[in-house]
Amino acid sequence: MATFIPLTDVRDARGQLVRRAIASPMAPGPVVDTRSRPLADLRISVTDRCNFRCVYCMPKDVFGRDYPFLPHDALLTFEEITRVARVFVGLGVRKLRLTGGEPLLRRKIERLVEMLRALGDDLDITLTTNGALLARKARDLRAAGLSRVTVSLDSLDDATFRAMNDVDFPVDKVLEGIDAAADAGLAPLKINMVVKRGMNEASIVPMAARFRGTGHIVRFIEYMDVGATNGWRMDDVVPAREIVSRIDAAMPLVDADPNYRGEVAERWAYADGGGEIGVIASVTQAFCRDCTRARLSTEGKLYTCLFANEGFDLREVIRSGGDDGALQRAVAAIWRQRGDRYSEIRTENTSRESKVEMSYIGG
């Protein structure tokens, strides 16, 4: 039976609805939500800023020069992030992923990696980046204890890639970062490609071919209705079945079993043994039933779904003097009452509802 906690709805500085959690006398330990989904994965946004303006995430007409990004003192410190992560580990989380915005923009990010690694040698600590700064950061990140890295790369065609990142950044620099990460020992990498109809679907097969046989795994992601600023339409979605069909026609594929419960990507292996690809089909093949992920925003709000429109204010618990026990009980109670299943109930109408931006809580 789910246990509920008192909640106070308030508006933050941006006018977003925030649900403030109040700790309850609940024992810590592994937790499951109302649909029996365990808490296993925490995604930590370390900044809301990014040096790209990707059209599906931070369109330039919204995130322009005058956009009110968070001031530094609003962000969780590395010590606060580590404290929250320690609480989540105590509740069963074994995977920590650093996101943004662009996480490599956060100064001394390798110090945070080092602090998180101290929480356990067995933790899977990963980072998702656009790759622009990866070549210069890869060795330090690995030395600090980072397990792996995921790079967002939406096309190998330079003109297409520059158009999608909308800051005229060249694809060769991202490929250089991928090579540097592999050389530093952060392999195999995952390469994420968001596929948007009319923009980069012609890049699907070349992307698969480029990384086939390298050990890296390309994951093709259906264009999703995250946030409210990317102008999402169902017509812009290239369905997973079309993505797989295009690749299979050029390089035959066979179905592969998932690696673990809650894996977001449907796995496909090359029939000749040349590696594998993944397809993330949140739009056409909802996987809410196995979602084990929580998301922590850069200013300390906990979101239990990528498509949420409200968060729970953990920073208030931290900065008002609550101890680790209070924080752990609050997190456990939030997860136990979780019932999110947005992708299963998505319609054209719900897709237009206000939701938190992906750049704010990470992908």
Report the pLDDT value the prediction gives residue 5, as an integer from 0 to 100.
42
DSSP letter at 116? Answer: H
Q: Return d(Cα 350, Cα 308) in angstroms, integer.
A: 11
Residue 2 forms part of a structural domain: no
Q: How many CB atoms lie within 10 A of CB 287?
A: 17
Report the pLDDT value the prediction gives residue 152, as an integer from 0 to 100.
97
β partners of residue 221: 194, 280
β partners of residue 312: 19, 302
Q: Is the pLDDT of residue 6 over 50?
A: no
The mean pLDDT of the chain is 87
Of 207, 268, 208, 194, nearest to 238 by C-alpha is 194
Residue 277 forms part of a structural domain: yes
Least confident range of 71-85, 123-137, 161-175, 305-319? 305-319
Q: What is the pTM of this model?
A: 0.87
The type of residue at 262 is G
Residues ≥6 apart with Cβ < 8 Å to 221: 192, 193, 194, 195, 279, 280, 282
Report the pLDDT value the prediction gives residue 4, as an integer from 0 to 100.
35
Of 73, 152, 84, 74, nearest to 112 by C-alpha is 84
299-336 pLDDT, tens digit each? 999 999 887 878 999 999 999 988 999 999 999 999 99
- Percentages helix, strand, coil for the chain (3-state, rounded to 5) are 35, 20, 50
C-alpha angle 358-22-16 in degrees, rounded to nearest 5: 35
Task: Quote the percentage of the chain above a pLDDT of 70.
Answer: 83
Residue 322 forms part of a structural domain: yes
- Torsions phi, psi for 150 (to 5 deg): -115, 130
Annotate 25-67 with DSSP letters as a single string: S---S--B-TTS-B--EEEEE--S--S---TTTS-TTTS-TT-
Q: Is the pLDDT of residue 234 over 50?
A: yes
Q: How far is CA 268 from CA 117, 174, 193, 271, in A?
A: 31, 25, 15, 9
Report the pLDDT value the prediction gives residue 343, as an integer from 0 to 100.
67
Indicate the length of the chain as a whole number: 363
Task: Quote the percentage of the chain above a pLDDT of 90.
Answer: 70
What is the rounded average pLDDT of the residues 181-205?
96
3-class secondary structure, 319? helix
Residue 1 forms part of a structural domain: no
Least confident range of 7-16, 87-96, 325-334, 352-361? 7-16
Report the pLDDT value the prediction gives residue 146, as an integer from 0 to 100.
98
Report the pLDDT value the prediction gives residue 21, as an integer from 0 to 100.
47
311 upstream amide cis, omega within 30 of 0? no
Q: Return d(Cα 6, Cα 19) in angstroms, integer.
A: 10
258-299 pLDDT, tens digit each? 887 767 889 999 999 999 999 998 887 777 888 899 999 999
Structurally, the chain folds into a number of domains equal to 1
Of 201, 255, 206, 244, nearest to 223 by C-alpha is 201
Q: Is the pLDDT of residue 190 over 90?
A: yes
Higher pLDDT, 142 or 360: 142
Residues ≥6 apart with Cβ < 8 Å to 240: 220, 222, 266, 279, 280, 281, 284, 285
Report the pLDDT value the prediction gives residue 306, as an integer from 0 to 100.
82
200-230 pLDDT, tens digit each? 999 999 999 999 999 999 999 998 776 555 5
Residue 263 forms part of a structural domain: yes
Residue 311 forms part of a structural domain: yes
b/e per residue, 322-351, with b = 16+ CB within 10 A?
A: beeebbbbbbbbbbbbbebbbbeebeeeeb
Residue 350 forms part of a structural domain: yes
Q: Which residues constitute the domain of residue 175?
A: 7-361
Report the pLDDT value the prediction gives residue 250, as an integer from 0 to 100.
97
Report the pLDDT value the prediction gives residue 346, as an integer from 0 to 100.
63
23-66 pLDDT, tens digit each? 444 455 689 999 999 999 999 999 999 999 998 888 898 899 99
Q: What is the CATH number of the domain that holds 295?
A: 3.20.20.70
Residue 257 forms part of a structural domain: yes
Q: Is the pLDDT of residue 103 over 90?
A: yes
- Torsions phi, psi for 245 (to 5 deg): -60, -40
